[in-house]
Chains A and B, each alone.
Chain A
Amino acid sequence: MMCNPLKLMNEYKKHGIFFGFNGPVSETIVRDVAEILKEKMKVEGADTTATYRLFSVVVELLQNINNYSAKKNWEKITGEKHKALGLGMLIAGFTDKDYYVLSGNVIENQSVEKLRVKLDRIKRMDKKELRRYYKEQLRRVPDEKSKGGGLGFIEVARKASKPLEYDIQKIDHLFSFFSIQIDVSKE
């Protein structure tokens, strides 16, 4: 075998991960992943508010990958033939007090700075400020461009029990890897 599935499973277990995905994302995948996670939480008797918070974070982060991951523009950027698929990863797990969702995808280096500014700004805001900022952005995002763009990160931050964590690591002269973690309170 190419890798050891049991070892991978144990690694997942160690981190409380109950769901893991890596690969191309489509609207159908977003829907099915979100629905099955909601179903799982319902079966386990999770709190309704927590269930919909997690559901919302999963939907927004996956839709974000589908809309903005650099692979979507691969051909435009590199000139190499590449199917326009959103590519990325998402895992969901739990700790004692929280659920957490972690997502990652490749982005273009040229969008790094803008993303940093945006996320640092959101990170510093408390719930009240996030609420105000969300409403402000809701009016600002132009209709024709809006795939919800720009609102997604504010939305997930509103659902989070602590400030979002993110990381951006350079891959090469064109691309970087972006990852973000959102914690959601179990209660």
Chain B
Amino acid sequence: MQNLKIENTTNAPDIFFDYANNILDIRGESYPENAREFFGPVVSWLKEYIQDTTRSDITMNIELVYFNSSTSKVLMNIFDMFEEAAGEGKIITVNWIYDPRNENAIEYGEDFREDLENVQFHLIPSK
């Protein structure tokens, strides 16, 4: 698989998925008007990555300072996909990295964590 790299812009995050080194990073702010469109290639890449049978251990780092409701929907879809794969035996970890001064980022991390049983979802303060 090819690596996936999308440079961040003001309203869309930095995406860096490194296949060989198992690095999945999403960082920045995310409020494109049509998040589904922006994240389309991201979701497709992850779908393929999850199905890769040589990989049993997957870790994603998400450090989103802000995201809009449209992005929220996409994130939920990604976590649902992870949850399903984790239910089938993959070890999937999500590190939700947040600025402790920003209550919003913690709250939304907790929201996502609540719905996940099989995915290891960690809330990690950034500093």
Contacts and interface: CB of A to CB of B under 8 A. Distances in A.
Contacts of B65: 52
Contact of A27 (B33, B36, B66, B99): B33
Contact of A52 (B34, B70, B73, B104): B104
Contacts of A35: 10
Interface in A52-86: 52-53, 55-56, 59-60, 63, 66-67
A155 B73 CA distance: 12
A48 B102 contact: yes
Given A49-B101, A141-B73, A67 B36 contact: no
Contacts of A16: none
B103 interface: yes
A135 B69 contact: no
Contacts of B35: 148
B26 to A, nearest CB: 17
Contacts, number: 77
A139 B65 CA distance: 23
Interface string A39-52: 00000000111001
Chain B, interface size category, equals: 20 to 34
Main secondary structure of the interface of A (DSSP, over half): helix
A56 B102 CA distance: 12
A151 B35 CA distance: 13
B34 A147 contact: yes
Contact of B111 (A52, A59, A135): A135
Contact of A34 (B31, B103, B105): B31
B71 to A, nearest CB: 8
A15 interface: no
B121 to A, nearest CB: 15
Chain A, interface size category, equals: 20 to 34
30 contacts: A27-B32, A27-B33, A30-B11, A31-B11, A48-B102, A49-B101, A49-B102, A49-B103, A52-B65, A52-B66, A53-B104, A59-B66, A59-B68, A60-B69, A63-B33, A63-B70, A67-B33, A135-B115, A138-B76, A139-B76, A141-B73, A144-B36, A146-B73, A147-B70, A148-B35, A148-B68, A148-B70, A151-B70, A151-B73, A154-B69
Interface of B: 10-11, 31-36, 65-66, 68-73, 76-77, 99, 101-105, 111, 115
Interface of A: 27, 30-31, 34-35, 47-49, 52-53, 55-56, 59-60, 63, 66-67, 131, 134-135, 138-139, 141, 143-144, 146-148, 151-152, 154-155, 159
